[in-house]
Amino acid sequence: MADQTDENTAAPPAAGGNFARLLRNPGALRLVGSLFVLELGSAMTTVGLPLLVMQRYGLGLEVGFTLAARFLPNILLGALAGQIVDRHDPRRVAMLAALGSGLVVALFPLTTAMWQIQLLALAIGVGYMFSFPATMALRPQVIPEGSELEGNGLIVTAERIPKLIGPALAGPIAAGLGVGWLFCAEAATALVAAALLLRLPLAAPRSAAAPAPAPRRDGSAVLRGLTAWARAVAGGARELVRMVNNDGRLSSLTLTAFTYMVALGLGRTFLAAYSLDHFEGVPGMLGYLLAAMGLGGACGALLTARLRRWNQGWVYILGNALEGVCWIALLWTGDWSVALVLLFLSGVFESIASVVYFAEVQKRLPAELTGRYYATLVPMSDVFLVAGTVAGGALVATAGIAWSATLVGLAMAVPVLLLVTRLVPEKRPARADAPAAAASGALS
């Protein structure tokens, strides 16, 4: 077939050469550095926010509501944020989101009531709602074609390492200077992140036509404008669905992303119960297990480029399946060192699968749909994550730890194994790099 390609027969470029090319690319380094410092600050606030609430108001439902408030904007309005990202320069959107989040975070120590903290938490969620799809939309501008694995490996590493060192830094800062300084630290990292984005290449204009002067609007004009915008949103969503459905691997990657979030939610609850039940004599074992996963994630992201000669569908399947095996294997060990090794390997496999996911999506999805895709994906993923977390609490309480670990492993492995015939073929649409409008016309 004319649109059939085989990555196993093509001569791939050397991984080392692609890494060297990325390291000589100032735009890629700025994007990775911006994401790193932004995630570092966010990791410290993740520690500081519940501490602030508990110190002032005690432990109760307020902590859960406050933490949940950060996810609500993305769940409710994330798909609409993608429309803004796709219609504007994503660099400016990401910069404004970082600056806005930094300003909001700096206000936490000044609050005097719970509702003020929750309102600021909502505002942080709004910033994340824009920053993540904007960052994803910037990748094609700074990652050269052929270097998707290496570039996305660096990006995933930049996300994983802060989750390891951020909480480690937050402890001494909170103990020595006070919880309020954690928010000041994130405000500083937000400024650095925005500064790194400042010199990224500008996005190409969406249209060469100059916009006409805006007429004076009355009520009916505003209503017509809102109606037209709603139709554009619906049309963009339909266009995205057609694009995803046109590629069997892309649609399967998207589906398994949702099932994995359910497994992740189940795993979070299981891991807390597992650490208390199996390692009661090891204080802070949950933190050690999470740190092992974070370290494995950082290593796995850098190792993925070594697997570029493999069929990437098989790499994605094996990454998810082997991670599931690691979770189930936790039941057969009472040794804390073996448990740490298993969670480290789990992080490696998870990170490899994540890098392949991002790289495959980047290769298959037109740049004009990238922001819309992630702005739709992330809110839905959060819904599945919350569902898995809630279900995990009920599952551990009723079925016990053993069945919980088994279900976590199966939820990770079974979906990719069921979709093996769609994930393995290397078929890619010939229109992968065409403008979104052309793709829409061809698919309709």
70-122 pLDDT per residue, tens: 777 877 776 677 667 777 788 888 889 889 988 999 999 898 888 898 899 88
Dist. CA 193–CA 318, nearest whole Å: 34
Q: What's the CA gap between 371 and 138, in Å, rounded?
A: 9
CB atoms within 10 A of CB 356: 29
pLDDT confidence band for 215 (50 / 70 / 90): very low
Q: How many residues does the chain have?
A: 444
Q: Cα separation of 43 and 183, whole Å? A: 10
- Cα–Cα dist 61/74, whole Å: 21
Whether 264 shows a pLDDT value over 80: the answer reads: yes
Please say if the pLDDT value at position 309 is more than 70. Answer: yes
Q: Amino acid letter at 68?
A: A
The helices-and-strands tally (H runs, E runs) of the chain is 17, 0
Express each pLDDT in 415-436 by its tens digit. Answer: 999 999 888 876 555 444 443 3
pLDDT at 323: 94
User: What is the distance of C-alpha 366 from the center of its chain?
Assistant: 19
The residue with tokens 């995990």 is: 392
The arithmetic mean of pLDDT across residues 253-271, rounded, is 86
Looking at residues 240-263, what average pLDDT do you find? 83
**Which carries the bigger pLDDT value, residue 30 or residue 201?**
30
Nearest residue to 32 (alpha-carbon basis) of 151, 113, 133? 151
In this predicted model, which residue has the larger pLDDT, 8 or 381?
381
Distances (CA, A) of 442 to 86, 138, 243, 387: 20, 25, 10, 37
User: What is the set of domains in the chain, with CATH numbers?
Assistant: 8-202 (1.20.1250.20), 235-444 (1.20.1250.20)
At 28 the pLDDT is 78
Identify the pLDDT of residue 434: 40
Confidence of residue 25 (pLDDT cuts 50, 70, 90): confident
User: What one-character-per-residue DSSP string does 289-326 give?
Assistant: HHHHHHHHHHHHHHHGGGGTTS-HHHHHHHHHHHHHHH
Quote the pLDDT of residue 162: 82
Mean pLDDT value of segment 179-197: 88
CA–CA separation, 1 and 361 (whole Å): 22
- Asked which of 211-225, 250-264, 305-319, 380-394 is least confident by mean pLDDT, the reply is 211-225
- What is the dihedral sign for C-alpha 386, 391, 394, 397? negative
Helices (H), 24-71: 26-57, 61-69
Amino acid at 264: L
Higher pLDDT: 397 or 11? It is 397
Q: State what percent of residues in the chain have pLDDT above 90.
A: 12
Among residues of the chain, what percentage have pLDDT more than 70? 73
pLDDT at 350: 92
Spatial distance between the Cα atoms of 303 and 149, rounded to a whole number of angstroms: 10
Amino acid 282: pLDDT: 66
pLDDT at 220: 58
Q: Average pLDDT over the chain, rounded to whole?
A: 75
pLDDT of 7 above 50: no
For 139, residues 6+ apart whose C-beta sits below 8 A from its C-beta are 31, 151, 152, 155, 358, 362, 370
Q: Are 15 and 148 in contact (CB under 8 A)?
A: no
